[in-house]
Amino acid sequence: MSYWKVVKFVLIAAVVVAYFLKPYSEEMYYVYASLGWAPVIVGFMFFPGVIFISVFVLKVVLRRKLNFKRPTWSSNPLSFDSPENFFHLAGFVLIAGGLSDLLFFYLNAGELCPALFSSVSSGLGILFGIRVLALVYEKQSS
């Protein structure tokens, strides 16, 4: 078994535990409640938007081919040759942290507000952007 799988699992577990170790405050919940749905939508759309602009510049302006390697759990997320591995891990860290944050606030406040979903939507946006990159790469390879 690759040690990167263990490192990634430990990192994700540490993020989940860290969200439960923070103190709860009513003020923090009311700040989240005042934000509305905007952070959720922006969080999901940001990374795919960056991917779209980057692929456009790479393929249309620079006329280069996309170099992509599908991320796996055993790949090195700190490799500068394959930044998609880092973003793959970051997406799962955001999803795990966001889900534990949702559970933390639900257990302490008894209700949820839309802005609490922003970490989860950001992580899903990152994974969606990586999937778009994979589809573009598969299309260019065929």
pLDDT tens digits for the chain (142 residues)?
589 999 999 999 999 999 889 888 888 888 888 999 999 999 999 999 998 898 888 888 888 887 888 999 999 999 888 889 999 999 999 999 999 999 999 999 888 999 999 999 999 999 999 999 899 889 888 7
Sign of CA dihedral 103, 104, 110, 113: negative
3-state secondary structure of 120: helix
Neighbouring C-alpha atoms within 13 Å toward the C-beta of 5:
5
Q: Where are the alpha helices (DSSP H) in the chain?
A: 3-21, 26-35, 38-56, 83-109, 118-141
Give this prediction's pTM.
0.89
Predicted local confidence at residue 113, as pLDDT: 92
Both structure tokens of 63: 């006329």
Domain spans of the chain, in order of start: 3-141
